[in-house]
């Protein structure tokens, strides 16, 4: 086996905990360097759908996930190698705290040799800032800490105090001020989506300007990114297997829901389907009257609970989708997409709305998280991985065909349902983890069956 190599400066932006301001800082950095005429590519650690859209607005380029557990090392290497060919700078936003999880930000950065830039929230601390920075730099021996940025800083004097607290060998890269106008609004699944925010461009320009005035931003040294090749020169990637090169979805059109209610979809999923020959047609269940002419349907997750009236009142769209499903045309429904297919959905405040009724069941939004984690399931002899993150509890009158389960000490399970060639579950599937199964699904070739519970 040989490798192709590409070199590009790269930074892995991390923090001691969630809510440290990583997304704001990464978006500001992407826009800052873009404004300097640089080509920037941004990645997000973990199975996150929301943060990458901010990075896409900021950089002007698609943003992808990087997750060793869900994607595997080979696909991650492929993404980084391709970005290094095209970019002047690669930015990677970490998830949670720097060392949190089996596939932590620190582990990912060490795997690919990328220096870490730590964003430390410093609103209510002084010399302890230095202790936290020292701990991040030395907790594991394989950490390469490029420097630290203090966030939520109260004054220039406060910034000086924080800088002076750092031990020798840790670079102070600047201090972002405590400024409410730089904060992003949040809701129960994370930040409010970038595409929903008015003035997103003005916000990006302001944060980039504040960053440029407050922080030292030298480009780091280039990192070598290597992509593994087979003996015949082909990339070792699920999207370049001989199976996909035969174009099993050639001539197939897949309608993909995409609007404020349905937007949680991995870019790699669309890439895989297109590599397999599929034609993708996006549509809006909120705004469009009917489904586009398509062979199969993809309903990803999102926020249907925030758009109950718009979804339930669009009767022509509801009828169009019900007709598609009743005609045995293949459908994949993930999390919010599954809730949309049920009889009824109830909000936390008790507001109810009739949904499509294509799957017998109902769901109610809860005040506490009901499911979170990486899972995998065996369907028709193939193992596919994915992620779930939901606040609803559902009651579905079907016998599951399989169960997605979580590995490790804290095990979680999610039922998977199949009816009328519609595969539905709370899992957001990462389709490249099982390319053949993904194609079978959109061709209506999942062989397991179930019946309604009576």
Question: Pick the catalytic residue: 76, 173, 318, 335?
Answer: 335
- In this structure, are residues 215 and 13 in contact, taking their beta carbons and an 8 Å threshold? no
Place of tokens 């640089």: 38
The Cα 439–Cα 256 span in angstroms is 15
Measured in whole angstroms, the distance separating CA 6 from the mean position of its chain's CA atoms is 25
- In this structure, are residues 330 and 297 in contact, taking their beta carbons and an 8 Å threshold? yes
- In this structure, are residues 452 and 400 in contact, taking their beta carbons and an 8 Å threshold? no
- In this structure, are residues 447 and 379 in contact, taking their beta carbons and an 8 Å threshold? no
The Cα 29–Cα 17 span in angstroms is 20
Measured in whole angstroms, the distance separating CA 19 from the mean position of its chain's CA atoms is 17
- Helix (H), strand (E) at residue 234: none
The Cα 149–Cα 156 span in angstroms is 14
* Alpha-helix residue ranges (DSSP H) falling in 215-264: 242-245
In three-state secondary structure terms, 212 is: helix
Torsion angle of alpha carbons 389, 390, 395, 397, nearest 10°? Answer: -40
- List of residues 6+ apart from 427 with CB closer than 8 A: 334, 335, 375, 377, 386, 387, 388, 404, 414, 416
- In this structure, are residues 338 and 370 in contact, taking their beta carbons and an 8 Å threshold? no
- Is position 335 annotated as part of the catalytic site? yes
- Helix (H), strand (E) at residue 296: strand 296-299
The Cα 334–Cα 266 span in angstroms is 12
Largest CA distance in the chain: 70
Beta bridge partners of 386: 375, 429
Pairing of strands 344-346, 361-365: parallel
* Alpha carbon distances (Å) from 287 to 194, 258, 263, 434: 19, 10, 14, 33
* Alpha carbon distances (Å) from 215 to 92, 110, 128, 147, 436: 18, 25, 20, 11, 48
Residues noted as catalytic: 335
């Amino acid at each position: 086996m040989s490798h192709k190599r590409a070199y590009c400066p790269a930074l892995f932006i991390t923090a001691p905990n969630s809510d440290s301001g990583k997304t704001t800082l990464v978006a500001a950095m992407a826009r800052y360097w873009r404004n300097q005429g640089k080509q920037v590519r941004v990645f997000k650690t973990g199975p996150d759908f929301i943060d990458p859209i901010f990075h896409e607005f900021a950089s002007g380029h698609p943003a992808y996930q990087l997750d060793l557990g869900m994607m595997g090392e080979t696909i991650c290497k492929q993404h980084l190698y391709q970005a290094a060919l095209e970019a002047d700078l690669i930015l990677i936003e970490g998830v949670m705290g720097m060392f949190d999880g089996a596939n932590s930000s620190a582990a990912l950065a060490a795997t690919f040799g990328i220096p870490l830039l730590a964003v430390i929230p410093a609103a209510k601390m002084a010399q302890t800032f230095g202790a936290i920075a020292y701990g991040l730099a030395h907790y594991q021996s394989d950490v390469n800490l490029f420097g630290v940025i203090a966030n939520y800083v109260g004054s220039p004097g406060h910034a000086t105090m924080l800088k002076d607290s750092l031990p020798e060998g840790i670079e102070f890269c600047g201090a972002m001020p405590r400024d409410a106008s730089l904060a992003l609004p949040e809701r129960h699944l994370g930040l409010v989506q970038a595409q929903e925010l008015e003035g997103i461009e003005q916000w990006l320009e302001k944060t980039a300007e504040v960053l440029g005035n407050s922080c030292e931003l030298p480009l780091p040294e280039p990192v070598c990114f290597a992509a593994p090749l087979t003996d015949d020169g082909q990339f070792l990637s699920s999207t370049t297997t001989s199976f996909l090169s035969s174009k099993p979805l050639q001539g197939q059109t897949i309608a993909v829901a995409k609007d404020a209610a349905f937007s949680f979809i991995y870019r790699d999923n669309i890439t895989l389907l297109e590599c397999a020959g599929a034609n993708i047609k996006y549509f809006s269940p909120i705004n469009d009257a009917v489904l586009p002419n398509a062979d199969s349907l993809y309903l990803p997750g999102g926020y249907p609970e925030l758009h109950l009236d718009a979804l339930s009142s669009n009767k022509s769209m509801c009828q169009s989708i019900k007709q598609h499903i009743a005609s045995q045309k293949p459908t994949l429904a993930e999390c919010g997409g599954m809730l949309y297919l049920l009889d009824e959905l109830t909000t936390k405040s008790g507001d109810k709305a009739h949904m499509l009724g294509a799957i017998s069941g109902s769901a109610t939004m809860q005040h506490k998280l009901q499911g979170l984690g990486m899972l995998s399931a065996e369907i028709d002899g193939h193992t596919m991985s994915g992620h779930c993150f939901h606040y609803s509890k559902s009651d579905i009158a079907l016998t599951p065909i399989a169960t997605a389960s979580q590995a490790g000490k804290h095990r979680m399970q999610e039922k998977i349902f199949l009816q009328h060639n519609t595969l539905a579950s709370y899992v957001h599937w990462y389709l490249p983890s099982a390319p053949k199964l993904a194609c079978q699904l959109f061709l209506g070739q999942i062989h397991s069956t179930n019946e309604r519970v009576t």
